[in-house]
Amino acid sequence: MPEDLADVYRSTYRALVRFLYRKVWDAERAEDLAQEAFARALVHKPEKARGWLFVVAANMARDEARRAARERRHLTLLKSEPDAVHSAPEDEIDADAQRQRVRLALEQLTPRDREALLLWDAGMSYDEIAGQTGLARGAIGTTLARARRRLVDAYEGRSEGGQHVAR
């Protein structure tokens, strides 16, 4: 195999789970999908296993339509809740609430920005992100800059113009 899958597995498995988790928001499902991706890699033996795995994983996550619908309903409920969580100090917010806030913030990114950000956070290089997203390599920095800013702004409850939107 051109790229030792065992090595890729050791180095990438957790990142792939994390990447998937931020798409399906179900830890168990994310692990399932990650393992499914590696199982497929065992069969297909892709040349560039790491990039291939993320492509496959992203596609599988995309196929989670039914699950996504359920998640959207859940999100709707969350959005309609009072803003008590938002105003609480960060260290007092439990992990679940933080996750939900990040999730909501990520949802406010464009799909392309979100994908680039999640791929970067999963350890992909600019070249790999470019290959995966179809963006020019030179645009990755700009894309990530925008994605990061929007993520932080959304999390902090700021609109793009710097105004708090939830207060």
Partner 1 sequence: MRDEAKEGNMSHVDDGALHAYLDGELSPVERAQIEAHVAECAACRTRLDEERVLIQRASQLLGFAQPPPPPRERAAPPPLHQLRHPRLAWRLRMPLTWAASVVLALAVGYYVGGSGYRLAPEDGAGAAPGTVVGIAAPEPVSPGLNDRSATEQARTQPPAAPAAPAEPQAVRAREENAKAAAELSAAVVTVDGDLVSARDRLDVRDWPVIGRDPARQLLGTDPVGVPGLAVRETRRSPAGDSVVLVEQEIDPTTVIRLFQRRAEQVDVGRRVVIRGAPSAARAAAPDARGTERLARFVGSLRVEIAGPLTPDSLNKLLEQLKPIP
Judged by beta carbon, residue 61 or residue 140, the one nearer partner 1 is 140
Q: How many CA atoms lie within 13 A of 164 on its CB side?
A: 6
Q: Which of 25, 5, 14 is nearest to 104 (CA)?
A: 25
Measured CA to CA, the distance from residue 91 to residue 79 in angstroms comes to: 21
Question: Shortest Cβ distance from residue 127 to partner 1 (Å)?
Answer: 8
Q: What are phi and psi of 45, to 5 degrees?
A: 45, 60
Contact between 53 and 8 under an 8 Å Cβ cutoff? The reply is: yes
Subset of 54-113 contacting partner 1 (CB under 8 A): 95-96, 98-99, 101-103, 105-106
Contact between 157 and 165 under an 8 Å Cβ cutoff? The reply is: yes
What is the distance in angstroms between the CA of the first residue and the CA of the last residue of the chain? Answer: 55
Is 6 among the residues that bind partner 1 (CB under 8 A)? yes
Site string for partner 1, 145-164 (x = CB under 8 A): xxxxx-xx--x---------
Is 117 among the residues that bind partner 1 (CB under 8 A)? yes
Q: Choose the binding region for partner 1 from 35-43, 47-55, 71-79, 81-89 (rule: CB under 8 A).
A: 35-43
Summarize as ranges the residues that interact with partner 1 (CB under 8 A): 1, 5-6, 9-10, 13-14, 17-18, 21-22, 27-32, 35-36, 38-39, 42-45, 95-96, 98-99, 101-103, 105-106, 117-118, 120-121, 125-126, 138-149, 151-152, 155
